[in-house]
Amino acid sequence: MGDTQRVTAAIAASARLCVLTGAGMSAESGIPTFRDAMSGLWSRFDPAELASEAGFRADPARVWDWYAERRAGVRLAQPNAGHRALGEFARRRPGVLTLVTQNVDDLHQRAGNTGAIQLHGDIQRDHWLEPCTRQPGCDAAAAAPGRPPRCADCGNRVRPGVVWFGEQLPPASLLAAEHAAAACELMLVVGTSGAVWPAAGLASQARRAGAQVVILNPALSEIDAEADLVLRGTAAELLPRLLAG
Ligand code: APR
């Protein structure tokens, strides 16, 4: 039995499956991976400079424009065969899959995994940059248009609802992800470089708790050593085969 058949059989026999996805999951939907996203127009910027509060405060319009371009890309993108396979699996075997994603797009949700845990937030959401202590607080509906929009009353700026470098992950999301990693029998790690923590640590957490860890990635990742098995392939190629059982 080959590696793919072994993993397919393990998934079919699993009562508690955790899947952790990264930007590679959406690559075949046309959304550049984070490290690739810094190619082309944005290649002259350091990702941490754009995806950070300091970068936003230093040049709000530039960061706002970068997210606006990425949001437009997400709206145009469609879930790929890998997203669809995960959505179908959740429908076919309710309660078995916990999906944890580092991605800020909504492709898992649009493919049917509405309960996906978003560790790094949601690019379609906005927050206020400063906590607003006034009553009533800043009203998003009345925000003055701009790059970024501002509160018409106090000038507070709108910022993207994603986790920036150096920021805490949403505690409830991280806790749910860690519980899923500790409880699963099998973890698939799909399309992540394993470069960003604490998300990257979920694979070793699962392994320490006794789960089998399988990595799906066309290239080497920083956490390959945490895997029992590495399948060299893409999300849209491998997931439909592995989850069909
Ligand atoms: N299928 C599966 N994996 C792929 C594919 C594909 N079609 N194409 C690329 N990959 C892999 C790459 O080999 C790489 O290992 O996806 C990974 C993408 O890595 P990153 O761009 O680092 O994205 P990610 O691991 O999700 O980054 C983690 O860091 O940049 C921050 O907050 C951002 O959530 C992001 C986090």
**Burial (CB count <10 Å: 0-12, 13-18, 19+), residue 31:** buried
Domain shared by 239 and 137, yes or no: no
Domain shared by 151 and 229, yes or no: no
Using the predicted structure, report yes or no on whether residue 135 has a pLDDT greater than 70: yes
Active-site option among 83, 108, 120, 127: 120
Q: What is the pLDDT of residues 90-132, one digit of tens each?
A: 999 999 999 999 999 999 999 999 999 999 999 999 999 998 8
Domain shared by 235 and 135, yes or no: no
- How far apart are the CA of 205 and the centre of ligand 1, in A? 20
Q: Is the sign of the CA dihedral 141, 115, 231, 244 positive or negative? A: negative
Domain shared by 109 and 152, yes or no: no
Q: Which residue, judged by its Cα, is nearest atom 25 of ligand 1?
A: 192
Domain shared by 178 and 70, yes or no: no
Active site residue 120: yes
Q: What is the pLDDT of residues 12-33, one digit of tens each?
A: 999 999 999 999 999 999 998 8
DSSP 179-241: HHHHH-SEEEEES--S-STTGGGHHHHHHHTT-EEEEE-SS--TTGGG-SEEE-S-HHHHHHH
Residue span of the structural domain in which 52 resides:
37-76+126-162
Q: How open is the CA angle 230-236-240, to the nearest 5 degrees?
A: 85
Q: Please, what is the average pLDDT of the chain? A: 93
Q: Which residue, judged by its Cα, is nearest atom 34 of ligand 1?
A: 102
Q: What is the pLDDT of residues 191-238, one digit of tens each?
A: 999 999 999 999 999 999 999 999 999 999 999 999 999 999 999 999
**Residue 129 tokens, joined:** 């940059």
Domain shared by 219 and 201, yes or no: yes
What pLDDT band is residue 143 in, cutting at 50, 70 and 90? confident
